[in-house]
Structure 1
């Protein structure tokens, strides 16, 4: 028989992940490490098993059955095998519950578990993210009856007791501009609130609960008049009849995740708090889900690089292994450096979130989290698409063949730049934080603190030079709001890269003291790619190009 090519093999997603192990070695308390290691080992074992299982079978999609054989409306969704296994894995390894424990490393524990599990979960982590966000929003609301009702289910360590929560915000007019929300909330004669309307993009429709934006009857127009409501979707084993699933979305990627168009015809609902300012009540939820998004993005990057590196050790071309080809090795090293930067920023946001929630953070760290969360989400989301695309190229034609399972990496990665706010939406959100508060000064102080734990003068000089340039850019354009907004992507990306470089420098110093020079090499490579991404905006050119 002629030429046969070995398929790439997946290295152990925990024991072979030097970045995650080094991070935990540096910051995680040893007394809690044994239990965490056991969970991460088990989740990584599952990830390897799922990878091998998927390589032997065709990936499936969820199936919606709207009517039973006798004409009854059932709206039953048949889930994939990985989704059926999700509740047991989630509760057995405390993926959600660990994030709500009362210590400053709780979020780091949670997101380490989520990172190892994510790709194997087939985006079961999407409803986990929304459930986590719903639990956080409920706690912030201070609504005792809803907290007592839902939180024990959302954070359960028993699969039979676990509830998932959806997030129902987007309607037919689409996207992030939710001020035109048409779903209405009406009180019946018994005082029960009920929701009426249509939600156009509802992930986790298979969950048992959701948080939904609606306009109370008689309220004014605009986003400020919206209220946030808690709903339950199941009546025992049956779906609530007032919740109708119109169809499942046919998406570019995340095929295993059932995303639905639904309409609500009097679904019972309970307000979280005041019957207004619902968008403000959603904010704690978005901070959580955006962090999940960033962790998912770096998990997808980790998978793509792991497979590309393994393949480079198996594939021979022109008489040598790919790993021995100078240009291919250079490409992999560049990918690795960018990935390590994204990893550092995403996990710092996760760790900082836990410190802020437990009142362990400084005032500057707390202010910085407001800015770092959208920065991490938008930057890692864009990078995941670019890096997964590059990884597929490393496989040549095999990267374009569905049977290899590789194209799914790129299709799935595209969602990170869209969910929970697109790159433009989050760039403008970051700009508001920069121009409306002292967030830039706080972020600079925090970054300086990270650099103070490093002995790398090259990194310190490069980061401060880029921050100086950003400060000048912001200061000279204060009166040119349109120009400032047009360049918001470049500002956000520059700040994300500055923060990541400082974090890499801190980790490199710690690792070097223990004889590991690889993080320092990644830092040098990342700095060589430059930190500045500021843009000189020419409005006239923009107008001409769009005519």
Structure 2
């Protein structure tokens, strides 16, 4: 009976075997814009190879498998010895290994390195986001370690290596290593100054024994960790290796793995230290200042991770609507669906353009660009990661009931979406950090205003939004209670200024009309109908030009 009655029709072919990089016009334009001409050919080759791999059926299977078979904790071996190891599905190692060998932990000091890495990170984490966590922390550990030239000389070549070696061994015996981070404790959360983990100095200079806990310690199978603990001189940063130089295991008891909403391929753990050996990074009492550059870099990766998820969700939605027919026509040709898709595409492009602009500022590394990053990173982290969840939900809805089924991959995107708004400081933490910069670092605001001002006069709606923002910035009384609104306005003005300068006219026009001009509803799909919505959707369609 099934052979004659079960006819499959009007089903969408899978979005597979395509070049994730080449099909992303916003991203390819950003790479060409921010890289020097002599670097472009090599970058295109690298990113094209990565993009074709990311779009392959094989890598998409790896992403599904890594989440379907999450990591498992083994605290003891068969004889009762404490081993504290986490076992991952082979797909996890394949994803992580491919990323490392593509240079996604190597950006510092490499010409155009941050833009190339940012684009690669945005491409490669689309099929699976969880393994981006150890990639991000390994990359971000470099600036923190550079506060101690001896530690940097020892560890940086391994952190930036393009060689992936799984398993716990003495770091000196490995060609490449991965790093994690442990800051949060259960009594303090984001308030790391409330940490109680103790660090007792040993006779050897710079060596300590740590006693305490970490409520969140990501990627516990990494080779080393940057952690915060209370030394005699105050809160201090430490480098804690999993394996000691003599080959024995450091005291690092994994109490359990977190059972998370999403990000299930990645092991997030609770760990206990009991006489755990570590080396001091930076001076005693300056732990937050030492680790802040690492936090800034991981916050940028939160922006990149959300931009990647947005792009994949939009690509899936547009692909589905290109092939699916309903009510007498293809969905993508229906005016209301086209409005939804165009609105989603605007949000995705604005996130991508902003993320790559931040990466370019890291590459430039001038005083002005460093000041710009001080305020632009928490601003972008606040807004882009906040927009990710509603976008993922709306993109899922474009697939109808099919989008609510696990096989579509959309539920995994939706579960992953809230993550980056929480990690490395929630929305309130980001907003308060922006206020801190506004009040204490006038050069940061000046750099931000200079960047935004480059587009002044190009669009009246942007000019009006800049004026409103300046009015709000002039009155800092009671500003904490309205910090979110201010930071949202700053983010939208920054995105608008970048799109007016660099995006196609139809994209910039629609963004300014909706996000800055006041003609925007509370849900996606409320763009002014007079906009060139078809061109916006076509630009975002996941097909290489």
TM over 0.5: yes
Equivalence for 2:229: 214
Shift of 1:212: 0.5
The CA distance in 2 between the partners of 1:215 and 1:292, in whole Å, is: 28
Higher mean C-alpha deviation, range 235-244 or range 399-408: 235-244
The CA distance in 2 between the partners of 1:369 and 1:133, in whole Å, is: 15
Shift of 1:237: 11
Equivalence for 2:525: none
Q: Aligned with 2:417: secondary structure? A: helix
Shift of 1:121: 4.5
Alignment of 1:95-114 (within 5 A): 95-97=104-106, 99-103=107-111, 105-114=112-121
> For 1:240-283, what per-residue CA distance to the aligned partner results, in whole angstroms no more than 9, with x for missing partners?
24101111110000000011110011111111121112111111
Structure-2 change in CA distance of 1:65 and 1:501 (3 Å): same
Alignment of 1:192-231 (within 5 A): 192-216=207-231, 218-219=232-233, 225-231=234-240
Structure-2 change in CA distance of 1:302 and 1:87 (3 Å): closer
The CA distance in 2 between the partners of 1:392 and 1:239, in whole Å, is: 48
Equivalence for 2:373: 369
Equivalence for 1:540: none
Kindly indicate whether the alpha-carbon contact (under 8 Å) linking 2:62 and 2:94 is maintained by their aligned counterparts in 1.
no
Equivalence for 2:314: 305
Equivalence for 2:12: 6
> For 1:78-105, what per-residue CA distance to the aligned partner results, in whole angstroms no more than 9, with x for missing partners?
11333212453234322222x12343x2
The CA distance in 2 between the partners of 1:186 and 1:532, in whole Å, is: 57
The CA distance in 1 between the partners of 2:124 and 2:63, in whole Å, is: 17
Kindly indicate whether the alpha-carbon contact (under 8 Å) linking 1:55 and 1:404 is maintained by their aligned counterparts in 2.
no
Kindly indicate whether the alpha-carbon contact (under 8 Å) linking 1:83 and 1:121 is maintained by their aligned counterparts in 2.
no
Match of 1:529 among 507, 514, 520: 514
Equivalence for 2:152: 147
Match of 1:248 among 257, 264, 277: 257
Give structure 2 stretches of 5+ with no counterpart.
1-5, 166-174, 519-545
| Structure with more relative contact order (C-alpha pairs < 8 Å, separation 6 or more) | 2
Q: Return the TM-score normalized by structure 1.
A: 0.86
Structure-2 change in CA distance of 1:432 and 1:109 (3 Å): same
Q: Aligned with 1:255: secondary structure? A: coil
Shift of 1:428: 1.1
**What's the C-alpha RMSD, in Å, of the aligned pairs?**
2.1
Equivalence for 2:500: 505
Equivalence for 1:261: 270
> For 1:271-300, what per-residue CA distance to the aligned partner results, in whole angstroms no more than 9, with x for missing partners?
112111211111111111011110111010
The CA distance in 2 between the partners of 1:367 and 1:188, in whole Å, is: 38
Structure-2 change in CA distance of 1:408 and 1:121 (3 Å): closer
Alignment of 1:64-463 (within 5 A): 64-97=73-106, 99-103=107-111, 105-139=112-146, 141=147, 143-160=148-165, 161-188=175-202, 192-216=207-231, 218-219=232-233, 225-235=234-244, 240-356=249-365, 361=366, 363-438=367-442, 439-449=444-454, 451=455, 457-458=458-459, 461-463=460-462
Shift of 1:408: 0.5
The CA distance in 2 between the partners of 1:283 and 1:91, in whole Å, is: 24
Kindly indicate whether the alpha-carbon contact (under 8 Å) linking 1:202 and 1:260 is maintained by their aligned counterparts in 2.
yes
> For 1:352-383, what per-residue CA distance to the aligned partner results, in whole angstroms no more than 9, with x for missing partners?
12112xxxx3x443322110010111111011
Shift of 1:304: 0.3
Equivalence for 2:536: none
The CA distance in 1 between the partners of 2:426 and 2:292, in whole Å, is: 16
Kindly indicate whether the alpha-carbon contact (under 8 Å) linking 1:240 and 1:267 is maintained by their aligned counterparts in 2.
no
Kindly indicate whether the alpha-carbon contact (under 8 Å) linking 1:83 and 1:122 is maintained by their aligned counterparts in 2.
no
1:45 aligns with 2:81: no
The CA distance in 2 between the partners of 1:31 and 1:295, in whole Å, is: 25
Q: Aligned with 1:280: secondary structure? A: helix
Kindly indicate whether the alpha-carbon contact (under 8 Å) linking 2:185 and 2:214 is maintained by their aligned counterparts in 1.
yes
Kindly indicate whether the alpha-carbon contact (under 8 Å) linking 1:82 and 1:122 is maintained by their aligned counterparts in 2.
no
The CA distance in 2 between the partners of 1:532 and 1:61, in whole Å, is: 45
Kindly indicate whether the alpha-carbon contact (under 8 Å) linking 2:136 and 2:298 is maintained by their aligned counterparts in 1.
yes
Q: Aligned with 1:100: secondary structure? A: coil
Shift of 1:239: 7.3
Structure-2 change in CA distance of 1:7 and 1:59 (3 Å): farther
Kindly indicate whether the alpha-carbon contact (under 8 Å) linking 2:241 and 2:250 is maintained by their aligned counterparts in 1.
no
The CA distance in 2 between the partners of 1:151 and 1:137, in whole Å, is: 11
> For 1:92-129, what per-residue CA distance to the aligned partner results, in whole angstroms no more than 9, with x for missing partners?
322222x12343x2211111111111123442221111
Kindly indicate whether the alpha-carbon contact (under 8 Å) linking 1:181 and 1:215 is maintained by their aligned counterparts in 2.
yes
The CA distance in 1 between the partners of 2:371 and 2:473, in whole Å, is: 18
The CA distance in 2 between the partners of 1:397 and 1:329, in whole Å, is: 19
Kindly indicate whether the alpha-carbon contact (under 8 Å) linking 1:75 and 1:239 is maintained by their aligned counterparts in 2.
no
Higher mean C-alpha deviation, range 33-42 or range 52-61: 52-61
The CA distance in 2 between the partners of 1:164 and 1:280, in whole Å, is: 22
The CA distance in 2 between the partners of 1:371 and 1:144, in whole Å, is: 28
Question: Across the two proteins, how many residue pairs are aligned to each other?
Answer: 498
The CA distance in 1 between the partners of 2:517 and 2:242, in whole Å, is: 48
> For 1:293-333, what per-residue CA distance to the aligned partner results, in whole angstroms no more than 9, with x for missing partners?
10111010000000100000121111211112110111000
Q: Return the TM-score normalized by structure 2.
A: 0.87
